[in-house]
Structure formats: structure tokens, C-alpha cells
């Protein structure tokens, strides 16, 4: 199958191609991102998406059970016996009628794609199965990443569950997302704590991979994005193969938004959809590079000829001002998104938009998501806060169908949740001083009671 898939530089003036099994992060000629490209003419692609429904009957087979690989004809870079799956992608699209009024949508029109149900608790598993499969095809025995977040949790989870590769995780000693680090440790990933920050860890992991031949599971990996396309296949599946009007997704390193756009480009090319949803990418105002570049600087895909000077100028100014990403939504606390150009392609193809939402609105939206019985981590709630913003602006209409992607589980990052619900006034402001969170309109406060039944019954009846 290998000769029907290859890698190609996204820059149309370069367009250099590479073998499927080459392990590269970027085009060695021009430094641009790489795509996985398929020779669809020579591949066996189903005539309609409903074809995939027959896979549901085969759930005892790992490939058909996987929420990624049961769509394998749309991700055809690996032979079935090469695929490394641990049962990722068992997620759901939930109609959220109780949340629709908060967002400003008519009942029946808001859907939440809950990716917290993945084995490691975030959408990253969709991509990790793709990259692990590629790593195995290349003969790798060890895979490494620098991350204090969900990527390392997912990597360690895959290594442990498959037993086929060893996970090496580099973390800086600065900001470590504790809940996520606990996963890497518990799954048995070899966790190297480096004296330095995340950027140091990232630089060292690259050097270590160069020197030892470890497979680098970084955010540039195009095979991760291949797996993440499946999130869109499942959203379509949840809607009976009818594309929604909008997909709203948080934007950090912009891998998801890039993968979603590629999914729709290919689905349209294959004649499997007749309408493309618009994709809204939501930054936090504390890490809003994409929003600024697109909305203020007018940066565009421009048929692949992105104006690098605009990006360079923007980053130079950011360095000059020593502007650091800072947001309560730690998973999107990124100021130099590596998949920027691919995301521009998504926006171009889907008629997409970008917005930045403040941390206050992210945590308010998160509390409202919780009331639906689906908890999510702060970054995930940016999608719901963003949909609400776009509704308020009249960009999204109340009668349009909107799918918000909830990227990670509530329990990933419980500190902000507990602070939001239990603190008041100055205490809350103090705890959240870094994040511009001052109020908690949707808090569900724990009710104090003395240790006697009367007090407890009173607390139950009267609440906080
Ligand atoms: C990684 C991550 C994001 C950001 O996704 P990108 O693909 O990097 O834009 C958002 N939310 C959660 C929970 C994540 O783990
Ligand atoms: Zn190139």
C-alpha cells in the first residue's frame, strides 16, 4: 500500500515529495510543513459514508472497534496488520439542549463532541494511533515527546497499552500540568525532568532524537493529523452523515483545526459530502496569535503562498515586547502555533473564522458544560465560549447546527474547576490573578455545615 501514499511539502512552489517511511518534521528544503498525500485513484474508497456503518457489527475486531481505523479507507497509509490501536476514539456526539440557550442557539442545534472519552482522556489519542502506527512502520522502538500535557499522557498510554514502543517524555521543571503528568507517571512512561522550561525540553528532545534515532512524536507530525481527521468522520456519523453548519474547535498548536480542514478537503474531493461546514477556531485572549494574525494582520492561505514576512514581523514584535502566552486554558497556552499554515488552509477552504475569548468566559462556559453532565477541561470550553461569541455577533444564526469539540476530560485539570466553584470575591481573584478571572456567575458552591443533622438538613434545603 505504501506506494499509494507519500509525504509532500505544503508549499506549492516547493512541493517536494518524500517517501511514506521518511521520518521528518519539516521539509528539509524550505522548512514548511508536510502533508500525507494519497493517490485516491488507485485506492479503494467507498462510494458513500454510510458504508462505514457496517463496521459497527465488527466491534470484536480491534480495527473495526477503533473510532479512527474503522474509517481506514479514508486514512489509508498503513496496511491493516501494521495498525497500532488501543481502542481510541470511542467518543460521542451529544445533543446539548440544556446548553443551547446559553450559547444562543435554538434547541436541537447544539452538539458537543466529547473527546474526553478517549483512553487517555483527550482527543490526542486520535492522532497518537496514527503516529504510533507510522513509528512502528519505520521500525522505531522508542518514541519521545516534550510536553507537560495531553500529548505526553497519550504517548505514555499508547506505549503501555500496546507494549510495542517505549515512551520517553521530556518535561521542564517550570509549569507542569499536574493531572496530566500523573498520567505519564502512572502509565510507566520514562519521564525525564529537565532543569529548564518547556522550550528547553523541546530543544533537548529534538537533539536526543537526532542522536539516538528515537521517533519524535512532536506536534508537526503529519501522521498525527491523519488520525485526528477521524473526529470529523465521527461528528458526521453522529449527525447521520449530514454536515453541520459549524464546527467550533479550540486552537492551540492548531493540529486539530488543520486535520479537520484536510478531512473536509478530502471528503469533498472524494464526493462523499456535498456541503462543507464552516470551521471556527477559538483562541484564548491570553494566547491569541492566530486571531491577531488573521483578524488584525489579514494573514491568509493565499493558495499556499502565505506571506512569511507578516508572520516573522509578528513574532519579532512579540519577542520585543516579551509577550508570553498566559491562559487558564493550559492546553492552548501557545503563542507560536506550529501548524499555523495548515490552519490557514482550513480557514480558507471552509470559510472559517477565528475568535479569541477571555479566560473569564472560558471558565463560565466550562461550568455550563458541566451542567450537561459532560465535564471538560478549560481549553475545551473555549469552543463553547467561542460559539457563544459568534452567536452574539450574529455570525452564527440561532437556527444553524453547531458542533463544539470538547477536547479533554474534566479531571485533567481540576484545580481551576474547584477554585471557580468554591472561592469568592478577593480569594477567587487572588487564585486567578494570572488569568483575569474575577467572577464565577455559574459557580456551584459547596455548602458549609456544622457536624449535626439540623445544620446539614438546613444546608441541603437552603443551599449556599
Ligand atoms: C492539545 C489540546 C488542544 C489544542 O489542540 P491543537 O490541535 O494543538 O490546536 C486543545 N484542548 C486540549 C484539551 C488539548 O489537549
Ligand atoms: Zn518544501
| Mutation probe of ligand 1 site: the residue of 283, 382, 407, 414 with most atoms within 8 A of C-beta | 407
CA distance 380 to 317: 29
pLDDT for the residue numbered 414: 87
Instruction: Kindly state if the Cβ of 408 falls inside 6 Å of ligand 1.
Output: yes
Domain that holds residue 242: 92-120+224-415
Q: What is the pLDDT of residues 423-458, one digit of tens each?
A: 988 899 888 888 889 999 999 998 989 999 999 999
**Ligand having the closest approach to the CA of 287:** 1
* Residue 81 resides in a domain: no
Q: Are strands 92-95 and 110-114 parallel, antiparallel or unpaired?
A: antiparallel
Instruction: Kindly state if the Cβ of 254 falls inside 6 Å of ligand 1.
Output: yes
* Residue 246 resides in a domain: yes
pLDDT for the residue numbered 320: 96
- Evaluate if residue 81 carries a pLDDT over 90: yes
The rounded Å distance from CA 334 to ligand 1 centre is 10
If phi > 0 it is left, if psi is from -120 to 50 it is alpha, else beta; for residue 43 that is beta
pLDDT for the residue numbered 218: 86
CA distance 296 to 65: 44
Distance of alpha carbon 194 from the chain centroid: 26
CA distance 126 to 112: 17
DSSP secondary structure of 226-292: HHHHHHHHHHHHHTTT---SEEEEE-SSSHHHHHHHHHHHHHHHTTS-S---EEEEEEETTB-HHHI
* Residue 341 resides in a domain: yes
> Is residue 179 very low, low, confident or very high in pLDDT (cuts 50, 70, 90)?
confident
Buried-state track 317-329, b at ≥16 Cβ within 10 A, e below 16: ebeeeeeebbbbb
Return the minimum-mean-pLDDT range out of 148-152, 348-352, 371-375.
148-152
Ligand 1 atom nearest the C-alpha of 258 is 7
For residue 358, the domain's CATH number is 3.40.50.1100
Ligand 1 atom nearest the C-alpha of 380 is 11
- Evaluate if residue 174 carries a pLDDT over 60: no
Average pLDDT over residues 169-184: 79
Residue 305: Cβ-neighbour burial (10 angstroms; 0-12, 13-18, 19+): exposed
Closest to 244 in 3D by CA, of 103, 355, 104, 404: 404
Closest to 344 in 3D by CA, of 289, 297, 300, 298: 300
Ligand 1 atom nearest the C-alpha of 376 is 13
The rounded Å distance from CA 18 to ligand 2 centre is 10
Provide the grid cell at 337: 502555533
Average pLDDT over residues 165-170: 93
The rounded Å distance from CA 16 to ligand 2 centre is 6
Average pLDDT over residues 322-336: 90
Q: Which residues pair with 142 in a beta bridge?
A: 166
pLDDT for the residue numbered 148: 63
Q: What is the CA radius of gyration of the chain?
A: 22
- Evaluate if residue 413 carries a pLDDT over 90: no
* Residue 66 resides in a domain: no
* Residue 451 resides in a domain: no
Answer whether 76's CB lies under 8 Å from 36's CB: no
Q: What is the pLDDT of residues 116-135, one digit of tens each?
A: 999 999 999 999 999 999 99
Buried-state track 281-299, b at ≥16 Cβ within 10 A, e below 16: bbbbbbbbbbbebbeeeeb
* Residue 263 resides in a domain: yes
Mean pLDDT over all residues of the chain?
Answer: 94
Instruction: Kindly state if the Cβ of 146 falls inside 6 Å of ligand 1.
Output: no
Closest to 129 in 3D by CA, of 163, 88, 160: 88
* Residue 244 resides in a domain: yes
Count the domains in the chain.
Answer: 1
The rounded Å distance from CA 407 to ligand 1 centre is 6
The rounded Å distance from CA 31 to ligand 2 centre is 6
Q: What is the pLDDT of residues 379-399, one digit of tens each?
A: 999 999 999 999 999 999 999
Instruction: Kindly state if the Cβ of 252 falls inside 6 Å of ligand 1.
Output: yes
If phi > 0 it is left, if psi is from -120 to 50 it is alpha, else beta; for residue 275 that is beta
Q: Is residue 354 classed as helix, strand or coil in its secondary structure?
A: strand
**Ligand having the closest approach to the CA of 123:** 1
Higher pLDDT, 34 or 178: 34
Average pLDDT over residues 346-358: 98
The rounded Å distance from CA 329 to ligand 1 centre is 10
Instruction: Kindly state if the Cβ of 377 falls inside 6 Å of ligand 1.
Output: yes
Provide the grid cell at 444: 456551584
* Residue 139 resides in a domain: no
Q: What is the pLDDT of residues 217-238, one digit of tens each?
A: 988 999 999 999 999 999 999 9
Q: What is the pLDDT of residues 283-316, one digit of tens each?
A: 999 999 999 999 999 999 999 999 999 999 999 9
Answer whether 91's CB lies under 8 Å from 118's CB: yes
Provide the grid cell at 174: 517550570
Amino acid at each position: 500500500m505504501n506506494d499509494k501514499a507519500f509525504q509532500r511539502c505544503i508549499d506549492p512552489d516547493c512541493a517536494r515529495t518524500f517517501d511514506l517511511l521518511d521520518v521528518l518534521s519539516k521539509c528539509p528544503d524550505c522548512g514548511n510543513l508536510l502533508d500525507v498525500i494519497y493517490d485516491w485513484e488507485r485506492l479503494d474508497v467507498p462510494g458513500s459514508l454510510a458504508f462505514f456503518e457496517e463496521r459497527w457489527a465488527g466491534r470484536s475486531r480491534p480495527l473495526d472497534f477503533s473510532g479512527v481505523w474503522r474509517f481506514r479507507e479514508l486514512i489509508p497509509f498503513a496496511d491493516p496488520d501494521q495498525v497500532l490501536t488501543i481502542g481510541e476514539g470511542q467518543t460521542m456526539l451529544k445533543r446539548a439542549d440544556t446548553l443551547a440557550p446559553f450559547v444562543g442557539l435554538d434547541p436541537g442545534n447544539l452538539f458537543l463532541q466529547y473527546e474526553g472519552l478517549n483512553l487517555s482522556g483527550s482527543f490526542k489519542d486520535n492522532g497518537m494511533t496514527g503516529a504510533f502506527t507510522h513509528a512502528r512502520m519505520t521500525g522505531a522502538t522508542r518514541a519521545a515527546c516534550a510536553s507537560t500535557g495531553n500529548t505526553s499522557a497519550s504517548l505514555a498510554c499508547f506505549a503501555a497499552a500496546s507494549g510495542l514502543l517505549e515512551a520517553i517524555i521530556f518535561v521542564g521543571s517550570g509549569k507542569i500540568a499536574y493531572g496530566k503528568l500523573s498520567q505519564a507517571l502512572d502509565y510507566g512512561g520514562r519521564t525525564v525532568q529537565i532543569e529548564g522550561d518547556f522550550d528547553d525540553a523541546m530543544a533537548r528532545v529534538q537533539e536526543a532524537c537526532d542522536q539516538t534515532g528515537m521517533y519524535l512524536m512532536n506536534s508537526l507530525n503529519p501522521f498525527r493529523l491523519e488520525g485526528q481527521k477521524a473526529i470529523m468522520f465521527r461528528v458526521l456519523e453522529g449527525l447521520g452523515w449530514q454536515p453541520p453548519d459549524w464546527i467550533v474547535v479550540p486552537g492551540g498548536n492548531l493540529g486539530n483545526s488543520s486535520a479537520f480542514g484536510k478531512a473536509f478537503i478530502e471528503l469533498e474531493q472524494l464526493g462523499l459530502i456535498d456541503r462543507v461546514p464552516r470551521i471556527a477556531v477559538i483562541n484564548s485572549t491570553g494566547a491569541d496569535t492566530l486571531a491577531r494574525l488573521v483578524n488584525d494582520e489579514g494573514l491568509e492561505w493565499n493558495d499556499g503562498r502565505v506571506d512569511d514576512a507578516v508572520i516573522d514581523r509578528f513574532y519579532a514584535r512579540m519577542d520585543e515586547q516579551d509577550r508570553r502566552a498566559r491562559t487558564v486554558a493550559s492546553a492552548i497556552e501557545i503563542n507560536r502555533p506550529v501548524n499555523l499554515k495548515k490552519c490557514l488552509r482550513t480557514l480558507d477552504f471552509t470559510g472559517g473564522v477565528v475568535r479569541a475569548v477571555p479566560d473569564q468566559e472560558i471558565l463560565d462556559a466550562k461550568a455550563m458544560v458541566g451542567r450537561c453532565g459532560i465535564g471538560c477541561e478549560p481549553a475545551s470550553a473555549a469552543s463553547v465560549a467561542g460559539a457563544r461569541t459568534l452567536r452574539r455577533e450574529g455570525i452564527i444564526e440561532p437556527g444553524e447546527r453547531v458542533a463544539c469539540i470538547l477536547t479533554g476530560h474534566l479531571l485533567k485539570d481540576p484545580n481551576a474547576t474547584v477554585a471557580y466553584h468554591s472561592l469568592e470575591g478577593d480569594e477567587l481573584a487572588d487564585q486567578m490573578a494570572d488569568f483575569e478571572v474575577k467572577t464565577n456567575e455559574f459557580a456551584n458552591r459547596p455548602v458549609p455545615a456544622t457536624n449535626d443533622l439540623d445544620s446539614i438538613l438546613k444546608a441541603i434545603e437552603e443551599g449556599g
